[in-house]
Structure 1
């Protein structure tokens, strides 16, 4: 009788550990089509982490380089730069990557991206296991 009870207890503990593992939900993933003659584009999505976490890198077979970028305005001039330390994801809060704000920049895109295509984006986090997202190619919703 003790062995079955112990097995059930172990299964219950394993299930609780899996439920408590950090995770990130991704929604509305989209990458813009590449402009004619250009080999770069932006990708956008909403990330919601179950625990405080950080998006630290992005990769894709669709581009030689993928960076997490931030947009800011300094002296009336909008600038864009890589977020070297990654993007903070506060627990339970939706963090939007959107046009004119933080976003993923794909550079040296290997083939033109057209509306209707999909782009596989591998997201690496500080605590959460890496995930791969299929982003549609199209125009992002305007907020």
Structure 2
């Protein structure tokens, strides 16, 4: 009987590992959930790196991503992109990036994103680097960006990834 209980406990622990690792790359501060921060693998001569993630606001008040810091670059900036006359233009998001109450914002290539200017590190694919993101109301939160070769695939329809705005 005792051996059976030990085996059952061990099996339960092993089954829980994939669940833990699946959510281990999400972060939370206040009413904000920061999902899968990532950065594209960059060439060694790239003067900037991009940072991307989805920010979900489960609260009843809007919040705003206003900046951040990272030891991986000289500075961290928030940028927004727009398409005008067939040309994509990127500019600093001087007012930060609003995360609406009960909504989500997807920071992604070609849209609003985090720009790491003057990279000091260039982790290889699968590597990681830390950053502290600063929110107007929720305050600071330390996150870890994972370096990937390309953008992650869209979430399955039954996943909560569908909450993000394009």
Report the TM-score, using the length of structure 1 for normalisation.
Answer: 0.80
Instruction: Name the residue aligned to 2:38.
Output: 30
Instruction: Name the residue aligned to 2:162.
Output: none
What SS does structure 1 have at the residue aligned with 2:125? Answer: coil
CA contact (8 A) 1:39 1:110 kept: no
- In the TM superposition, structure 1's runs of 4+ consecutive aligned residues that sit over 2 Å from their partners are none
Instruction: Name the residue aligned to 1:121.
Output: 131
The structure showing larger relative contact order (alpha-carbon pairs under 8 Å, at least 6 residues apart) is 1
- 1:48 deviates by 1.1
- 1:142 deviates by 4.7
Confirm whether residue 48 of structure 1 aligns to residue 56 of structure 2.
Answer: yes
Rounded to whole Å, the distance in 2 between the matches of 1:111 and 1:45 is 19
Q: 1:137 to 1:73 in 2, by over 3 A?
A: same
- 1:112 deviates by 2.0
Instruction: Name the residue aligned to 2:47.
Output: 39
RMSD: 1.6
Instruction: Name the residue aligned to 1:70.
Output: 80
Rounded to whole Å, the distance in 2 between the matches of 1:135 and 1:57 is 16
Confirm whether residue 134 of structure 1 aligns to residue 138 of structure 2.
Answer: no
Report the TM-score, using the length of structure 2 for normalisation.
Answer: 0.69
CA contact (8 A) 1:31 1:119 kept: no
Structure 2, unpaired ranges of 5+: 1-28, 155-166
Structure 1, unpaired ranges of 5+: 1-20
Rounded to whole Å, the distance in 1 between the matches of 2:87 and 2:135 is 31
What SS does structure 2 have at the residue aligned with 1:55? Answer: strand
Aligned positions, number: 123
Rounded to whole Å, the distance in 2 between the matches of 1:61 and 1:69 is 19
